[in-house]
Amino acid sequence: MTKKILSITPYFPPDVGGLAYHVFDLNKCLIKQGLDITVIAPKHIQNKIQEDNNFGHVFRVNSIYLPGWPYPTLKSMNFPIDLGRAIESIIRKGDFDLLHAHGHHFPISWSALNTAQKYGIPSILTLHGMYALNPNVLGGKSLLEDLFNKFVFSKILSKTTSIIGLTDQITKYARRFGRESSKYFTIPNGVNVSTFKENMKRKEEYREKYHIGNEKIVVLFCTRFERVKGVVEFAAAAKELVKSDKIEIILAGGGSLESTVEDMVGNTKGIHLLKWQPKESIHELYIASDIFAMPSRFEGLPLPIIEAMNAGLHIVYTPVGGMPDILNQYSMKTLLNEISPNEIYRILTNVVSNFTNYKDHDSLSYAQKFDWDNIAFKTNEVYSQSVLK
């Protein structure tokens, strides 16, 4: 009998970013594996959304969004205008076997988990990160979020049948606040590994497409242009790095600091400033590059890290969120302990000076384990265990 799953997410395409892509790709694979998936996602009351008609059932809940004060990260918080009544109606009428909510910081997930418990429906919560509020400190931790964990997060977890963390560190974080009787699993983010494997030999073609010289060492920054991602510090370092005639930089993304980054790098020779790239072609930027930089202040398990691993890039990263966990078995990496233009410049200069095109076979084999088909299979197993509880 086909399992009916209700997927609750604070972001869903055409929203951009790792969480939106995670939910979309995971559910696409679960549908291929025979599950009946319905998605509930928020919609800003002023936005018109064109859904992917090949996906299946998607319900949009009119929502309001917080201003970015006192922390810019609060802009991502959305609240259902009807306080969850539409969600409850869908759950009550849907005859779902299980509810799967994504993201523990979002009221849409809280509402759905409360309602699932009310109607006796097993539920799963996937944590996409840990602390995620204060973009001014490494790790994102703040007193306000500590209070949230104690008084809100712990209650959310008490209503949940099973919890999934994207890395072991995130799963341990959930255990600190959850019940011992709950089931805990670690299932990472994923990518379409075949896309990278099939196109790895097209490096020169992609470099020509993006007007990059084949003799250059290319450093890629590809994520949201927000303070939490260290984009301002990276852009400042990039202007110094390209003074070397063997380095070129790709800055790809978008967000609230887009105009700031544009003003900083302008038409600087050697810096390629790109808008958000279509999901279907993002692999081209990775394959065209040599080094990937992720100077984030906090993260869960960022999708770009897995994409960079599958492209065989040398990865420069900060010790936050799930990045140290996921890179533990990946050898081509360098740790960045401080997010400042000078330190980013110093570390990347050193990596470039010692750079070779050698691709570690064991690291590439490890990266290929993060294929969406494998991730969806493991998730389906958790569904079966949670329904049977």
Domains contained in the chain, CATH given:
4-190+371-388 (3.40.50.2000), 193-369 (3.40.50.2000)
Looking at residue 134, its amino acid is: N
Whether 297 and 140 have beta carbons less than 8 Å apart is answered as yes
Residue 282: half-sphere exposure toward Cβ, Cα within 13 Å = 27
Query: How far apart (Å, rounded) are the C-alpha atoms in residues 322 and 298?
Result: 9
Ordered per-residue pLDDT tens for the chain, 389 residues = 679 999 999 999 888 888 999 999 999 999 999 999 999 999 875 566 666 656 778 999 998 887 766 666 667 778 889 989 999 999 999 999 999 999 999 999 999 999 999 999 999 999 998 887 677 777 778 788 888 888 899 999 999 999 999 999 999 999 999 998 899 999 999 999 999 999 999 999 999 999 998 899 999 999 999 999 999 999 999 999 999 989 999 999 998 899 999 999 988 999 999 998 888 999 999 999 999 999 999 888 889 999 999 999 999 999 998 899 899 999 999 999 999 999 999 999 999 999 988 888 999 999 999 999 999 999 999 999 988 54
Q: Any residues with CB less than 8 A from the CB of 313 and at least 6 apart, and which? A: 220, 286, 289, 290, 291, 292, 332
Q: Retrieve residue 199's tokens.
A: 């196109």
